[in-house]
Chains A and B, each alone.
Chain A
């Protein structure tokens, strides 16, 4: 008996753990490690997240501290990335803004992922009339203007939006509720073509229930495109957040996000370019990393195209 088999037999017999946590993923991880670019991007991403989460502790300014002597000052020894027009340290604002941007991107993507994948998979698998109705609902939701949808949500929910964090939750929910549409279309198409494959018939002939076939046999097969699409969704959600913050529905001052900071930076681009440069640097580094990581993940997860 070799080492790998020893490993699995000594594992706990928790079924779900072995199914999803072990077999496919450890293999994909091994393949991902061979992809240098993806790993560099992953490290960069982890570094940025680390900076955003723990960075503010090491900076001797807070995001609301104003230094009225140094308004819109260029980078210096005290303010490494300069200050904004109100004399606040830009670096700490980028870090705290990054927390919000990243959180919005991550949470809204997960919301979109869970809703979109389940909805699309069920629609594609059942097919026929149910599929048609479910997809027309998606079309209708597509047609709703997003901004109006969010404004309406804010108006309706205004009485309970007394805390800033509640506004953020609304932001997550609103973005997630819109972003799942494309995801569900992608998954639905994939599942509709996969369900005619013989292995689905074979799974049925083994007595598997529909939900087990959908969630255990079909969804792992569509994970490749889903993951690639998710890594593209995160940046678009972060941009959405910037738009919403700009029209006053998202992050409210004095809190900030990368979108807000870039917006402010763009306004002062000519007089103080660093105010645009640093937030944009963080933002684009994150987006680039996500894209390359998505590429790497696609290659790693697609066992059929693997070279080993």
Chain B
């Protein structure tokens, strides 16, 4: 049985502009020790999927319309806020996009690091402090004895993200949700942070859900990749398979848009138009209007294309216009 199984999750936001279907029927699963990537453009519902599982969606306007997220035999979506609090930070942790703002500027690194330990375990202050020092050492922060007494503003962006990772992993959670953890960092630091996450994951056996819009990052860290578009998963495959043979037109367009895939001087490929407004989703295949690679005429105009296993262990939305001709 997988560690986490998300089944048909749908999260809508009821706004004045209408119902925004941010996540609309997402299913995926996560095995122990596995890294699952969720990739997609801004607004495709990657983050909302994970926030829904964590019970961090502001309600109202948000509402989880349907679905289950079964973690270790318990449906997270049916838990009360109090029960969720005992899971968040202890069994499922998160790291965020912008390390510059995700630490409390008025608290020392030390108090922030040991907070999850004091909150979720019986650790006393000295032991928590020892563990915090070890954790600082583990994430490669030099001179932890001194650094732990400092405030976040005395750290660089990369260092802060290391602190965030240390904080998220200090309670040995079973799942780590990394919400674009490298987006705000420069490329050399990105690599270090990715290596660090992979290294700690291998040591602690943590499962990781990796949210990003960066395909290069996905290719480095993920075992299995889910491609999201307009609140749905359009394609799922092991990372190598996805890069070797993308099926869905959206994935193919994304891969084609990577600048490194182009020769110098050649015009970069872009996907025309904008992601569809999730408040006004059209019936049928949501990618139809932007589909240039496949055959737009053959796309579904009504009814949702089924998410099927097209090739062994390679799933995609079965829309004739989006899949490559056989």
Residues of A within 8 A of B (CB): 1-2, 4-5, 8-9, 13, 15, 18-19, 23-24, 128, 197-199, 201-209, 212, 217, 220-221, 223, 303-304
Contacts and interface: CB of A to CB of B under 8 A. Distances in A.
Interface in B147-171: 149, 151, 153, 164, 167-168
B3 interface: no
Contacts of A197: 101
A207 B125 contact: no
Given A206-B115, A208-B85, A15 B146 contact: no
A15 B129 CA distance: 12
A303 B93 contact: no
Given A8-B129, A217-B107, A221-B105, 6 more contacts: A2-B146, A15-B118, A202-B103, A206-B93, A206-B119, A207-B85
Q: Which of A8, A24, A205, A208 gathers the greatest number of chain B CB atoms within 10 Å?
A: A205
Given A13-B125, A13-B126, A202-B102, A209 B107 contact: no
B88 A303 contact: no
B101 A5 contact: no
Contacts of B146: 2
Contact of B115 (A128, A204, A208, A304): A208
Contacts of A208: 85, 89, 115, 119
B187 to A, nearest CB: 22
B98 interface: yes
Nearest to A203: B104
A206 B89 contact: yes
B124 interface: yes
15 contacts: A8-B129, A9-B129, A15-B118, A19-B111, A199-B102, A202-B102, A205-B54, A205-B93, A207-B87, A207-B88, A207-B119, A208-B85, A220-B106, A303-B151, A303-B153
B94 interface: yes
A303 B97 CA distance: 23
B94 A205 contact: yes
Contacts of B153: 303-304
Nearest to B118: A15
Contacts of B86: 207
A13 B146 CA distance: 20
A209 B96 CA distance: 19
Interface residues of B, number: 43
Contact of B106 (A2, A24, A128, A198): A24
Contact of B104 (A13, A209, A221): A221
Contacts of A217: 104, 106-107
Contacts of A198: 96-98, 101-102
B204 interface: no
B90 interface: yes
B126 A9 contact: yes
Contacts of B283: none
Nearest to A18: B125
Interface in B115-151: 115-116, 118-120, 124-126, 129, 145-146, 149, 151
Contact of A207 (B89, B111, B164): B89
Nearest to B61: A128
Interface string B39-73: 00000000000000010100010000000000000
Contacts of A212: 119
A5 B167 CA distance: 20
Contacts of A24: 106-108
Contacts of B97: 198
Nearest to A129: B60
B120 A207 contact: yes
A232 B24 CA distance: 53
B1 to A, nearest CB: 25
